[in-house]
Amino acid sequence: MRELTFDDVYQADFSLYADNPIIRNFGGSFTAADPSALTPAQSHDGKWHLFCHTFFGVYHMVSQDGLHFARPEKVVPRAMRPNINRLGGRYFLFYERTKSLLGNALSLVGGKWRSEIFVTESDDLKSWTRPQRVLGKTRAFEADERGQALSNPFLLPMGETFRLYYSCGQTYIPDCGFCEPTYISYAESPHPANGYVARKTPILRPDKNDPHLNLCSGCIKVYTLRDCYIGLQNGIFAENGKSHSAILLLRSEDGIHFDYQKVLLTPQMCGGSDWMAQYVYACHLVRYENRLRLYFNARNTAHPLGGRECIGVYEAHLS
């Protein structure tokens, strides 16, 4: 990504993969969500590796082409919203650690939500270390009357520093019947797996006057380009009496102050299917060969019981 300029990304002509979604909800869960991927160039075995979550934890899948994945294997329970990284030959899997399934269920009927950011490490993507907490609540804006929520970790190495972007806080979305993250912030450390200190204020917050961000902030993935940083944010917004989410392209000179550039992907009918009709959520952008590939998850409807979340691909050839 560091060889690309902002114009390379902005002008890239993305299109949806014809056989989307590539991963449907599985294992008795309504959701397969929050993809995070390694390309063959990033992995030790020259294969594609994708991590995602369901109601029951974070799962790992392997593929030869990044489109057709083998049977998922659970990596960690009580886990959501994974982010996989390879640093110096070692893998670091960050994720949001939640309460038990029962505890999460009670959160939906008046109990307090509690989540923090954890990490587990591996040399081969098969054997993992005991998970360790990376970031817990240290700032007032990370909690409210519904509990505390730290989620959507995304690691950005920055020379001698590691910056961990994360979402926090909770905004209730009435038509869904659940909460989405209110704010986005980051923490920094000289080490990838410990020692993080959170910024004192959020870097992104909802804006009632912003048509793409009038409910809450969702999450962000930040990438270093040759001439700037870009952020891919899924803002949560209300339109025509319903909630929606779209993926926005942002630009920044320092990775802290971001300016909106355009909508990268919107909810829509796809090949006659409604699988991404109301929400386009969290994503992960990778470069391989002369292409950009965006993995993302989407939801067909807000209905708490009728809604299903699946994972798709949005791809562009670089000129």
What is the mean predicted confidence (pLDDT) over 38-51? 98
Please give the Cα distance from 203 to 258 (Å, whole number). Answer: 8
Position 268 pLDDT exceeds 90: yes
Sign of CA dihedral 142, 144, 149, 153: negative
Query: What does the block give as tokens for 12?
Result: 């890239």
Position 104 pLDDT exceeds 80: no
Please give the Cα distance from 185 to 59 (Å, whole number). Answer: 26
What is the mean predicted confidence (pLDDT) over 67-81? 97
Name, in order, each residue with C-beta under 8 angstroms of 125's C-beta and a sequence gap of 6 or more: 43, 44, 49, 60, 91
Express each pLDDT in 165-193 by its tens digit: 999 999 999 999 999 999 999 999 999 99
Query: 250: exposed, middle or buried (C-beta count within 10 Å: 0-12, 13-18, 19+)?
Result: buried
Position 194 pLDDT exceeds 90: yes
E strand or H helix at 10, and its extent? Answer: helix 6-10
Position 102 pLDDT exceeds 80: no
DSSP state of 69: B
Angle value at C-alpha 274, between 269 and 276, nearest 5 degrees: 75
Please give the Cα distance from 214 to 137 (Å, whole number). Answer: 25
Q: Which domains does the chain have, with CATH numbers?
A: 6-317 (2.115.10.20)
Position 281 pLDDT exceeds 80: yes
Position 245 pLDDT exceeds 70: yes
CA distances 237 to 16, 97, 206, 214, 234, Å, are 22, 26, 9, 5, 10
94-98, 262-266, 303-307, range with the lowest pLDDT: 303-307
Q: Are 118 and 78 in contact (CB under 8 A)?
A: no
**Pairing verdict, β 183-189 and 79-87:** unpaired
What pTM did the predictor assign? 0.96
If you compute the radius of gyration of the chain from its CA atoms, what whole number of angstroms results? 18
Position 107 pLDDT exceeds 70: no
Task: Using CA atoms of 302, 33, 1, 118 in order, give the dihedral in degrees to the nearest 10.
Answer: 120
